[in-house]
Chain A
Amino acid sequence: MRRRRLLAKRVVSLAITMFAVWTLNFVLFHMLPGDPAYALVGTRIPKEQADELREKLGLNKSIPEQYIIATELLLQGELGYSWFYKKPVTEVVMERMKYTLLLVGVGTFFAVLIGVNLGILAGSRRGGPLDVTIVGSSLAFYAMPAFWLSMIFLMIFAVELDLFPLRGFTTYTGGDVSGWDTFKDALWHMVLPVSVFVLVSISEFVLMMRNALIDVLTEDYITTARAKGISPRNIIRRHAVPNALIPTVATTAMFIGWVVTGVIMIEIVFSWPGIGTLTWDAIKQQDYPVLQGIFLVVTLTMLLANFAADILYTYIDPRVNI
């Protein structure tokens, strides 16, 4: 019963935050310069037609009225109309979202897997040469801007060594290609971006896991386990690590939230057809509806990720009280 009440509180909090974010979004983007009428059809239409268009789009209504209409449309899933692509924003965004999710999904999977294990290695051999190497290299990769590392990877592996393709998601542009070949081709294209992603993100998990493990190892129950004569390996594996995994959940959730914007660096350099390149293009084309839509979608993703992490937390650690 108590958990259900906490859950309800959290859901209400989430709804209020989403609403606040939407309002902030609306206000911000309506303060930016740019006339939708001219932006949609170009500047070479006579003024009367522009005025007519503005009337039809409802731009002459007062701002609060526009806000209410926009909110109604939002609840129906309408995010606006792209000035550049001449398509609904929802369509444009959803089209690109799957590529970003693919990159982020695969990348996060490997980053967590490798990072957590390296963190365990480093934490259980604290102060030793392995620890120093792991932490040192993690920090080094953390300090690298992702777009720089992407450029370097492309220059070395794709240009000089010619091992991987230069850009995009596929080399085939339609025609009579089998599904399996397309799949292999996609994988081949994914190697470099995912590698860069993993390298840049790994430090987050390595350091967090290492610190959590070090903290856990000072706890009393570890001393008890040692006194009971349990082997060091089993102490780490069955007593320390499960408890140290708790912050991992929170970190992963926050990471997913951050990464949907951070991945733009990698996407731009590799010309990966995802949300990142969409954002970059929209900035250059001054396509505000698309930017607004991306802003909303990305924020919602982050909020949901945090929310999921909070819920997960209560199941993993019963001592937690949100």
Chain B
Amino acid sequence: MPEASSVRAEKVRLLVSRLRRTWKTFRSNSLGMTGLTVLVIFLAMAALAGPLYALGLIQNPNNFLESSNPEEALDPPSSSHLLGTDERGRDVFSEILFGTAASLVVGFAAAGITMLLGASVGLVSGSYGRVADEVLMRTTDLFLVIPWLPLAVVLAMFLPPLGEPSMLKIIVVIGVTSWPATARIVRSQVLTIRERIFVERAVCVGAGKWHIMKVHLLPNVFPLVFANAILSVSYAILAAAFLAFLGIYDVTEMTWGLMLYNAFNYGGFTSSAWWYVLPPGICIVLVVLGFTFVSYALDDILNPKLRRR
């Protein structure tokens, strides 16, 4: 009888070699690599913001007193301000760098919530009996039909603490309004896997629902969930930018969406300050595309059905 620890070690070794193989396949996928490169660049930007500020090379736009300079408001790009200034005289380039971290964090966190909620509901709905399935699916459908924006706005206004939205509230709002789509996908995948022979065998041997979910369903559902999660990040980033543009943003954190809100409402847009309007949008587009490409590449690799076509 093999020892438990050596069995575990073997499992870890198998997992690592599988991951290595997936990575090798991913590397040959040019679409995925392009996306990944873009994302790595932005991660580097996010990481650089702090150190560059400490070195005195860029400003911190969240520190209003320090960075505002009304004399230089809405200046076009120059040698001292690579991307010009905003309506308060803050350096746009600094805003982009500082905004990277906040925008990415919102995207990741919201997608994380969506994944957790959606996958849990999907798993439970697919594994347990008809009643649970019906109830969960009806609720999911209800949320799917309600148009996203009014629900998000009402939640943002209504969740405590009332008043000024905070980063956490925005993350929760986006995560909670986006899970139904994931739940449906996970559920249909679970239903498919449940019909497979190894699950039937496990049930015959006496495996309980929890064991089946953990050992058989979850590992097989995970690749799909992962690819979907990455796609969710791009949705979340777009959603956060949209909410910020509507005025629902965290005043203490500079994000790209907030930059666009300021540009639209405080004069940048009407004075044709293209250096203020273009960069945040371009960043959003690039990051969203990056995540979308990586997700498509993962889908190609992990979904054997697609490869046969």
Interface of A with B (CB < 8 Å)? 17, 20-21, 24, 28-29, 31-33, 139-140, 142-145, 147-149, 151-152, 154-155, 159-160, 214-215, 218, 257-258, 260-262, 264-265, 268-269, 279-280, 283-284, 291, 294-295, 298-299, 302-303, 306
Contact = CB atoms under 8 A, between A and B. Distances in A.
Interface in B246-260: 246-247, 257, 260
Interface in B151-176: 153-154, 157-158, 162
B226 interface: no
A155 B162 contact: no
B14 interface: no
Contacts of A17: 141-142, 145
A306 B281 contact: no
Given A20-B142, A151-B269, A260-B147, A144 B292 contact: no
Contacts, number: 112
18 contacts: A17-B141, A32-B157, A32-B158, A139-B289, A139-B292, A145-B281, A145-B284, A147-B242, A147-B260, A148-B284, A151-B260, A151-B263, A151-B277, A151-B281, A215-B309, A218-B309, A257-B145, A265-B242
A143 B256 CA distance: 14
Given A160-B272, A298-B150, 5 more contacts: A139-B289, A143-B234, A145-B241, A152-B281, A299-B146
Contact of B147 (A29, A151, A155, A257): A257
A261 B148 contact: yes
For chain B, give the interface size range.
35 or more
Contact of A155 (B154, B238, B241, B272): B272
B238 A145 contact: yes
Contacts of B150: 261, 279, 291, 294-295, 298-299
Nearest to B248: A283
| Chain B at the A interface: SS class | helix
Nearest to B241: A145
B149 interface: yes
A143 B292 contact: yes
B277 A152 contact: yes
Given A151-B264, A151-B277, A145 B242 contact: yes
Interface in B11-59: none
B288 interface: yes
Contacts of B269: 151, 154-155
Given A29-B154, A218-B309, A258 B264 contact: no
A154 B277 CA distance: 12
A147 B245 contact: yes
A280 B246 contact: yes
B9 interface: no
A147 B264 contact: yes
B247 A283 contact: yes
B149 A148 contact: no
Q: State the 4 A-B residue pairs at the shortest beta-carbon distance, nearest first.
A: A148-B281, A143-B288, A261-B149, A295-B150
A269 B274 CA distance: 15
Contact of B277 (A139, A148, A264): A148
A240 to B, nearest CB: 14
Contacts of A257: 145, 147
Nearest to B290: A143
Interface in B266-309: 269, 272, 274, 277-278, 280-281, 284-286, 288-289, 292, 309
A142 B278 CA distance: 16
Nearest to A218: B309
A151 B157 CA distance: 27
A28 B278 CA distance: 37
B245 A145 contact: yes
A270 to B, nearest CB: 12
A20 B135 CA distance: 13
Contacts of A144: 281, 284-285
A28 B154 contact: yes
Contacts of A32: 154, 157-158
Nearest to A141: B285
